[in-house]
Structure 1
Amino acid sequence: MQRSTKRTGALRRSTLCTALALCFASGAVLAQSNASGVVFGRVAQPEGAVIHLQNLDTGLTRDVGVDADGRYRASSLPVGRYKVTVERGGQTVETRDNVQVNLGGGVDVSFAGASTTTAEAQNLEGVQVTGNVLPAIDVSQVDSRTVLTSEQLQKLPLARDVTAAALLAPGVISGDSRYGNVASFGGSSASENQYYINGYSVTNALTGLGFTSLPYDAIDQQQIFTGGYGAEYGRSTGGVINIVSKRGGNTWKGGVGMYIQPNGARQSPRNIYRTNGQLFQNRGGNERSDTQYTAYISGPLIKDKLFFFGAGDFTRTNTTTTSSILAPQRTNQTQKATKWLGKIDWNITDNHLLELTGIGDKTNTERSVYAYNYATRSRGNYLGTDNLKNFDAGAGSAPGGDVYIGKYTGYITDDLTVNALYGHTTTNHERDIGYSGSANCPWITDNRRGIANPITGCGLVNGTVLNAGAKDKTHGWRLDVEYHAGDHDLRAGLDNQTLESTSGQIYEGGYRWVYRNAGRVTGRPDIVPPPGTTYVVEKRLFETGATVKTEQEAQFIEDNWQVTDRWRIYVGLRNEQFKNLNGDGTTYVKQRHQLAPRLGATWDVFGDSTFKIYANAGRYHLAIPSNVAIRGASASTYYSEYYTYGGVGPNGEPTGLTQLGSRAYLNGEDGTTPDPKTVAAKGIDAYYQDEYILGFDKAINENWSFGAKATYRKLKSSIDDFCDSRPFEAYAARNNIDISNASLPGCYLFNPGKSNEFLVDVGGGNYVPFNLRKDDFTSPEGVAFPDLKRSYYSLDLYLEHHFADDWYGRVDYTFSRSYGNSEGQLKSDIGQLDPSVTQDWDAPEIMQYANGPLPNDRTHQLKAYGYWQASQEWLLGGNLAVATGRPKNCIGVDPVDAIQYGASYFECGFQPSPRGSKGRLPYTWNLDLNAEYRPLWAGDRQPLAFTATVFNVVGSQRPVGQIDVGETGTVANGVPVVSDDYRRPIAFQNPRYLRLGVRYDFSL
């Protein structure tokens, strides 16, 4: 958690310690509702005392009783500023003003009463908390979290998006660039996170990659969990980002802003070259400019009762880019992104609250595509248009869409609180391609070596495109009940969500042509080119499309137990159920009773909250993402054919074709729906991970603190597919089972590295169980599947200066290792966008030599950020990030290639090439700086602000990803053909750019 403290008047240390000693004898306060917080504490003289809380912005009031030991607790409070008062007989005794309640946390407000003088009590009244509470060390939490307030988000030099803020947290890194603007938490793949807005999950319904966002200025607080989170959270083995939006108050307020990123102040991106020196992509002439307009307004519709908050962002981005030499094009693109949020808060009574939130996140992209001549470095003829809605051409369907959330909070008694929530999202994805003067433009790829002028087509996308009718829908509800009983804070809840997606892909133009050097095609003995043939061409067709559904249910219970004044124990249990349905609406995987225990403890070593030692352990589950059913459990078609050819047509298509061999259906995808009974192993275990954390936080003084945390994560069970019929054939032969008429799907979902039981239709609907032991997943040559392995361990160290003396700063250093033979749901080695159905585990041979440092491994990370209020008018901020580079591999051809996967093995030159054995990309470092000027001449409240932010000040553009496939997949003269693209960079650090902004805030 990011902490800063403003003080008015002197704060005597002795007074503070007296109050704190009383405070931490009070009841436990751990994870609260994921859209609220809590105030708790102790009153030294409890007789007749009542605690009165008043929200300073909305007027909401709440009275809670004080027990015989002087303890009180007010849970599920909307985040915001509060006035907390002790009353006796209707008279005010003591007051704490401007107490900030933060997201998911506890604010300790205790009253020393007669143990302090009146003057000392007045000093304590001046405490204001921003980012957390006094004292500096929060002993009420056992998890690992960072909380950023809207004030901090404005003061730090950050891109105006949620992911940029999340990257400030220790152990969080950017995911592979091919997956879009997503993050990896603690070594997990980037699809293993959960994202919430106002308590409802807005995670991408299809793949888990990304989320529906909101206007940046609508964020009140952003909470980033990097581990140890409680039983209320599930469906994540990475991290959790939880956002609470702003709400209206009793004063009408508004603001407008504009932010521009001019192309003239942007550094040119680096050109991309192959390792042989050939220019692969000319990026020197790329251009980009951004303009964003923002506005918000909030206030009372009925004072103290009904409030409104509304905000909107409109962003226009113009880019001009040149694609690679493989498909040379020059594209002019205009992207219009509109985000809005509207929120109604109704204080029906002081004990019954209702919130209604609406969010819109829409992106429209219009692309005009031209041919490009690499010889003359000039733009050519107009080729057509490519228009997209809520779709990322690089990373697939973006979440976006519309979100509607309703939440009720009821304070039934002082000890009993009820929270109920319902949410719904809808997202439509569209892609409309229009060609210029050409009826058919298939995807053309020229993989012939040493060709000066590779064959190019008229295609605009040169890859797979979205099928018509794509959309995502979710709906879900949750019910939480909290009860305070003595030293125990009990909580139980239900958490259900259903995800439905219509999606599918097809090659542009219907199919793909790949030109290759003639030679032996591994695994295809029927492909024999005639003598003297120099080149051949492969034709591939790929098409998927279905409407699929995932149903997720969970129940949880937890107890926060204040064992002694210094010891606090958290015990939680989450029970999850997952059900996946295919395109026919039939269940193909059902998982029940996935138990996830959570346990934590904190020790307030000295009893004054200056030194905390904490530990936690937990299990975290993840459902199979919906995208698995699109291809793995629904009808799909994928085949390959080889030809010799006599010429090339105007669209890049070959002419004079003569077929070699026969059509080969890949992975058994022949256009029929797989039998749902045989798609997955029976009783398949859910994807889950165990995590252990031990750490401490220590206050140096009232302004400085430091700490350390050790984390260990181990993936205990994974779900992927394997596409190998040999284990079934061997099992049938061993057990005298006739499978001559069996229906064997091309791929099967299973738990890698374990024994699995499958049902096989051996003919006529006669299902026979095949109990395949782990050793049965062994090739005829004796290559066996290894045990599943993904482990992450880290040591985090931090030093923090809380906001005082006009500045705030924090430094985090993380030493970590993420290693094993499986990244998880994704395969960043090749940028594969198929969560849980990667090419890993498809056959034993492909997992040889796969153990080593994983793609999200960054051994050393240093993060430093902060801001300085240099004067009443000027504020300066900085953000530094340094990290070890990504591991490098050489992926190539296996001498046998029994599964016909070509260049897909951790082997090069027919020799082992273990994962990560080729060194690392260079370390990266990035420095961002900002300045804000608020002139006094604009008014007493300084409503006008001018900002300037420079990202990547030094202009470092080191590679952050490369092509790890070292061979083409063909063999010539008994030697694998080396790929010209091996070690070619795929992404660099963002070039230096400037953002200028102006903002005006007003009150009515």
Structure 2
Amino acid sequence: MSTNKHFAARRWRRTALAAALGMTFSAGVLAQSNATGTIFGTAGTPGAVVHLENTATGFARDITVDQSGRYRASALPVGQYKVSLVQDGQTVATRDVTLQVGGGIDASFASAQNAQNLAGVSVVASALPAIDVSQVDARTVLTAEMLQKVPVVRGVTAAALLAPGTVGADSRYGNIASFGGASAAENQYYINGFPVTNALTGLGFAELPFDAIDQQQVLTGGYGAEYGRSTGGVVNIVTKSGTNEWKGGVFSYWSPRKLEDSPRDIYLSKNPYAADSGELYQDRSNNRTTNTTYGAYISGPLIKDQLFMYLTAETTKQSGSAGLGANNGATSTRTIATSKANRWLAKINWNINDSNTLEFTGMGDNNTSSAKFYNYNYLTGETGAYKGSETTKNLGTAGSSPGGNLYVGKYTGYITDNLTVTALYGKTKSRHADNALGASGAPCPLVIDARNVASSDNYATCWTTTQVLAPGAEDNTKGWRLDVEYHLGDHDLRAGLDTQDLSSFSGTTYSGGIYHRYLDYSTAVAGGIQNEPGFVAPGTAPQYVVRDRVIGFVANVSVKQEAQYIQDTWQINDRWMAYLGLRNEQFNNFNGSGESYVRQRHQLAPRLGLTWDVFGDSSLKIFANAGRYHLAIPSNVAIRGASASLFSQQYFTYTGVDPVTGAPVGESPLTGVRYLNGADGVTAPDPRTVAAKGLKAYYQDEFILGFDKALGPDWTFGAKATYRNLKSIIDDFCDSAPFEAYAARTGTDISNAKISGCYLFNPGQANTFSVDMGNGTFQDFKLTKEDFAGNSNHIGFPALERKYLALDVYLAHQFSNNWYGKLEYVWSKNYGDSEGLLKSDIGQTDPSVTQDWDFPELMIGSRGYLPNDRRHELKAYGYWQMSPEWLFGANVLVQSGRAKNCIGNAPDGYDRQGYGSSFFFCDFSVDTNGDPIKTFHSRGSLGRLPWTYQLNLSAQYTPNWADNKLAFTADIFNVFTQQRTISIVETQNSYDDANYGRTLSYQTPRYVRFGVRYDFSF
């Protein structure tokens, strides 16, 4: 009897420990809350009490064990907990566990009669995916401790890129990531449960002080029904909170310019037909910067066990950049740039009592940058006169932080042991500024001299940027959500609803308000200036003319997003668990006049999952997941496509030129004003004519199958396969030919119909449009796939395709014997004819209105390997605690290159819209007469960019004489200073274009970061 009892106790310890370790590494569907977690388990004796207490704050709950011998406590703040089993008023067993964001921890006990004291079982949080029998999704949780020990750049994206299936996006989008083959604009980012994704475009997110991160959860697939509005991934951050101990600290990080390797110079491609082949395009030898970050924090109890505060702030400065522009000989530019980011976060936690808690978060993210421009002569190496400047606030590259302020409040009510209610409300506001000034301190107009004259005769200019953001630009997000969770027998039921209102006042204008383009008269005319009403040929033709363009793409636009969901986590028996969820979403997009132009309701997204604990001891799990995910149209679509906007041009003669700005003097009109695409800046298009009727939402289906296996107490290994299929997108097309084909097929008179501009539609299928017939009536045009092929080339749109297939294999060593490590390999294939919301081939930053589907000929050869396809990816990271004073870390990334394209000019007759180098046709050779031979090259068929390799190393010294309060760190990024090409110019303007294939970006060269921090308590 004693032998059997000893065996049972030993086996139970193995099962409990494996399950608890597993729960700390990956969050399960038992607790899908995006800022809390769940502790659950078996306790043997019905009626016993399980006491849970947060060791840092004193927050406590008592849960009664139900008749099946189980207990469950949901919506708990993350952190360290002591879990005690209380029988007849006496504590008979305790366990120490760490609760992670969105996670569940199995803190089970044997029956009260043979309970063992498990206080020594302390589960430490880790980022590694271990055995979690409740998990059906793909996620990684990174703790503050992990982020301090592994050498990563201090930023949310760098941390997210540790997760499998994530890759860096195109460099032109800034520092953001692509998840699971989706475009970089298809992700959602949360801080303390509230979305901080860029409200206008979905590109980028508000950053927070990096040291404020307590836990960062990265969801790369299979997430539950409470999450939506994402077909890429979800990054969910929970910030640190105050505790019962007053703590403070100061820190500083410094990356000196002198210890940074010079980035590689950029050269034109070695095109044998180009006269300037292989020449220096940009000298970047001096493009090095000094980065300095300093900050502080303080936290503690305002009222012990009840009211807590956490406050932190940091400032990051970058200076020393002295970059040169493109090599234009004597007319090049030198730039000296600086930037500064001020970030702060304040958080209040109030444990009103054991049944009610409140949490308030305030956050600020304000970044500014300034650049001064000087003339530079590549021929002599001399810097010339000051040319002008540009300053921005909360603005930069597409993926830069949109900045702004966040305020969010959250209430949690533990109504009964089985019923929990949470409510959240928050808002963000981000104001943007963009000012470009000439040397005189006044804005300079955009001037391009396109005359056929010697470069020495070109008109002088002073502009420094082509377009600027409209004054007064800002983004706002307001939202709330309500979640109710109820435990009923073997079912954990959860339901909720949430609303987000995103609004933006945004748009662009030309620098100085106007664009002057000087032309040879013979270029501007062909029997008169084409398509210019009011043109009268002058008696004596001038040698040159100027075309003036004015734009005003500015509007106040918004999107209202609502959702409801219900889900059930059903513990079928002790080995099988099923997850069933259903999400219903509604999207409503409004133009600048406040009118709805796209409305989508009842977007149903089922989510299903199943796990099998094969042996019943958490040593082997097989799991599967299937789900549908929707995405709303970004609000930026309405600025040009659905709102009043100005786009005009007019031709003039002129008598002189301003010697400083290059603007024409003495202009006299040759033509009247022409409003391109009907954009007169006053009248918004009728909402009925902007988009197809019954527009289907953007959505994707996903399937996951995998297993996890424990290999002894310290090792885990597993694999999973992921398949994603994009079923529907929304983009725009700008072709009148399908309407003309419909009219011819049906005998409809369209002589007075207003058919112009672009229309939102579902590519690759039939669509119905409401057409203004010009007599005050509207008529439905049901365009078939054949109608879309009704152009002169009889070419139609292909069926939409974006598929992602991945196999992820990992091996992980939990922290023991003073070291921790993870090795993960992902093979993936990202294939189709649409990247999604973006077009990385050309770095286009207009989500959902890309160039791709504007007219069918553009899609010839578009099917192939997509821009986010990285066939092979190996990630490894970990750390070694050599001694109490010394810790060393490493981070390795090996990745295959992106597939290459050539996007050039179409054969004669195929470019019906004048798009130029936008087709999958290029010239790589000439015939015997020296004429270029145009050849077809489908997407991704021209090989790949080189493999990239990067090793980061870190060391941390925590001297004993400072009582572990002082730490010195040193990190070396890209130790072997690998600088391989990661993106190139993929457009070819002519067969002798040496710009095609030119490198756009290399890997960041080696640099060193030193750090010092002092943490204290008082």
With normalisation by structure 2, the TM-score equals 0.91
Deviates more, 1:399-408 or 1:888-897: 888-897
Query: Residue in 2 aligned with 1:491?
Result: 494
2:374 aligned with 1:375: no
- In the alignment, does 2:324 pair up with 1:322? yes
Alignment correspondent of 2:108:
110
> Residue in 2 aligned with 1:360?
364
SS in 1 for 2:689: coil
Q: In structure 1, how many angstroms separate the alpha carbons of the residues matched to 2:526 and 2:952?
A: 51
The answer as to 2:49 corresponding to 1:38 is: no
Name the residue aligned to 1:128.
Answer: 123
Contact 2:31-2:74 at 8 Å conserved across structures: no
CA deviation map 1:343-366 (0-9, x unaligned): 000001111000000000001222
Alignment check: 8 A CA contact 1:270 1:284 kept:
yes
Distance 1:396 1:693, change over 3 A: closer
2:988–2:995: 8 Å Cα contact kept in structure 1? yes
| CA distance in 2 between partners of 1:103 and 1:766 (Å) | 56
In the aligned structure 2, how far is the partner of 1:906 from the partner of 1:221? 45
> Equivalent of 2:176, from 157, 170, 182?
182
Range that drifts further, 558-567 or 359-368: 359-368
Which of 11, 31, 40 is equivalent to 1:14?
A: 11
The aligned counterpart of 1:479 is: 482
Residue 288 of structure 1 corresponds to which residue in structure 2? 289
User: Is 1:618 matched up with 2:613?
Assistant: no
Aligned to 2:978: 956
Query: Which residue among 904, 920, 927 is the counterpart of 2:944?
Result: 920
Q: d(CA) in 2 for partners of 1:160 and 1:78?
A: 25
Equivalent-residue separation in structure 2 for 1:519 and 1:611 (angstroms): 77
**Which residue number in structure 2 is paired with residue 437 of structure 1?**
440
Corresponding residue to 1:407 among 401, 406, 410: 410
Pairwise CA distance, 1:541: 3.9
- How far 1:328 moved relative to its partner? 2.6
Q: Are 1:171 and 2:165 counterparts?
A: yes
Question: For structure 1, which segment, 448-457 or 740-749, has the greater mean C-alpha deviation from structure 2 after superposition?
Answer: 448-457
Following TM superposition, by how much is the alpha carbon of 1:214 offset from its aligned partner in structure 2, in angstroms? 0.9
Distance 1:14 1:848, change over 3 A: same
The Cα of 1:17 is off from its aligned counterpart by 3.3
Matched, 1:716 2:727: yes
Counterparts of 2:918 and 2:323, CA distance in 1: 31
Q: Paired residue for 1:89?
A: 88
The 5 Å alignment of 1:787-806 reads: 787-806=799-818
Amino acid at match of 1:192: E
1:620 alignment partner AA: Y
Match of 2:224 among 217, 230, 243: 230
User: Where do 5+ consecutive residues of structure 2 fail to align?
Assistant: 1-7, 270-276, 532-536, 924-933
> Does residue 1:572 correspond to 2:581, yes or no?
yes
Equivalent residue number for residue 938 of structure 1: 962
**Alpha-carbon distance in structure 2 between the residues aligned to 1:806 and 1:177:** 38
Q: Hey, what does 1:7 align to over in structure 2?
A: none
* Residue 449 to residue 310, structure 1, CA distance change in 2 (3 Å): farther
CA distance in 2, matches of 1:437, 1:412: 67
The 1-side partners of 2:441 and 2:73 are apart by 68
CA distance in 2, matches of 1:882, 1:866: 15
Query: Which residue matches 2:265?
Result: 271
Are residues 768 and 880 of structure 1, via their aligned partners in 2, closer, same or farther at CA, if it must alter by over 3 Å? same
SS at match of 1:739: coil
Q: Distance in 2 between matches of 1:132 and 1:440?
A: 51
Question: Deviation string for 1:38-92 (max 9, x for gaps)?
Answer: 0000012x14410000000000110011012210000000000000000012211
Contact map agreement 1:31 1:230 (CA 8 A) in 2: no
Q: What is the Cα deviation at residue 662 of structure 1?
A: 8.8
Q: Does residue 1:638 correspond to 2:654, yes or no?
A: no
Partner of residue 629, structure 1:
638
What's 1:983 paired with?
997
1:846 pairs with 2:858: yes
1:842-890 superposed Cα distances (whole Å, 9 cap, x missing partner): 0011111111111111111111111111111111111111111111111
8 Å contact 2:204–2:399 — kept in the other structure?
no
Which range moved further: 658-667 or 200-209?
658-667
For the residue of structure 2 that corresponds to 1:554, the secondary structure is strand
User: Which residue of structure 2 aligns with residue 878 of structure 1?
Assistant: 890
Mapped partners of 2:663, 2:53: distance in 1: 73
Aligned to 1:63: 62
The 8 Å contact of residues 973 and 1008 in structure 2, kept in 1 or not, is answered as yes
User: How far apart are 1:197 and its partner, in Å?
Assistant: 0.5
Cα distance change of structure 1 residues 450 and 695 upon mapping to structure 2, 3 Å threshold: farther
Contact kept? 2:127, 2:142, Cα under 8 Å: no
In the alignment, the residues of structure 2 paired with residue 54 and residue 202 of structure 1 have an alpha-carbon distance, to the nearest angstrom, of: 31
Distance 2:653 2:997 in 1: 31
Output one character per residue of 1:428-450: Cα deviation in whole Å (capped at 9) or x when no partner: 00112222238663334578999
Look up the match of 2:837.
Answer: 825
Aligned to 2:233: 239
2:603 paired with 1:599? no
Which residue number in structure 2 is paired with residue 152 of structure 1?
A: 146
Report if the CA contact (8 A) 1:846-1:904 is conserved.
yes
Residue 274 of structure 1, CA deviation: 1.4
Residues 13/648 of structure 1: CA separation in 2 closer, same or farther (3 Å cut): farther
Q: Are the aligned partners of 1:720 and 1:841 in contact in 2 as well (CA < 8 Å)?
A: yes
Q: 1:288 to 1:447 in 2, by over 3 A?
A: farther
2:981 equivalent to 1:966: no
Equivalent residue, structure 1, for 2:1011: 997
Q: d(CA) in 2 for partners of 1:911 and 1:977?
A: 11
- Write the letter of the residue equivalent to 1:474: T
Q: Distance in 2 between matches of 1:22 and 1:552?
A: 38
Give distance in 2, aligned partners of 1:863 and 1:1000. 31
Deviations 1:155-199 (A, max 9, x none): 110111100000001110111111111100011110000000000
1:312 matched residue in structure 2: 313
Aligned residue pairs, count: 976
**Distance across 2 between alignment mates of 1:553 and 1:579:** 9
Question: In the TM superposition, what whole-angstrom CA distance separates every residue of 1:384-422 from its partner, at most 9, and x where no partner exists?
Answer: 221111111x32774210000000000000000000000
Distance in 1 of aligned mates of 2:899 and 2:671: 40
Residues 171 and 186 in structure 1, CA contact (< 8 A), matched pair in contact too: yes
Aligned-residue offset at 1:218: 0.6
Alignment of 1:542 with 2:551, yes or no, is: yes
> For residues 65 and 456 of structure 1, do their structure 2 counterparts lie closer, same or farther at Cα, with a shift above 3 Å needed?
farther
- CA distance in structure 1 between the partners assigned to 2:521 and 2:851 by the alignment: 26
Superposition deviation, residue 139 in structure 1: 1.0
Amino acid at match of 2:857: E
Cα 1:129/1:23, change in 2 over 3 Å: closer
Q: What does residue range 452-463 of structure 1 map to in structure 2 within 5 Å? A: 458-463=461-466
Distance in 2 separating the partners of 1:42 and 1:28: 17
Aligned-pair identity in percent equals: 57
Letter in 2 for 1:252: W
Cα RMSD after superposing both structures: 3.0
Does the Cα contact within 8 Å between 2:18 and 2:619 map onto a contact in 1?
A: no
Matched residues in 2 for 1:883 and 1:449: separation?
46
Match of 1:732, SS state, is: helix
Contact persistence 1:21–1:607 (CA under 8 A): no
Distance 1:848 1:519 in 2: 34
2:621 partner letter: K
Question: Is the 2:20–2:123 contact (alpha carbons within 8 Å) kept by the matching residues of 1?
Answer: no
Q: Secondary structure at the match of 1:391?
A: coil
| 1:56 aligned partner, one-letter code | T
Residues 187-198 of structure 1: pairs in structure 2 closer than 5 A: 187-198=181-192
For the structure 1 residues 523 and 776, does the alpha-carbon distance in structure 2 shift closer, same or farther, using more than 3 Å as the test? Answer: farther
User: Which segment is superposed worse, 254-263 or 645-654?
Assistant: 645-654
Who is 2:273 aligned against? none
Distance 1:812 1:801 in 2: 12
Inter-partner Cα distance in structure 2 for 1:212 and 1:484:
36
DSSP 3-state at the match of 1:418: strand
Pair 1:748 & 2:759 matched: yes
Listed one character per residue, the Cα deviations across residues 707-761 of structure 1 (whole Å, up to 9, x for unaligned) are: 1111111110000000111111222233233322222340000000111111111
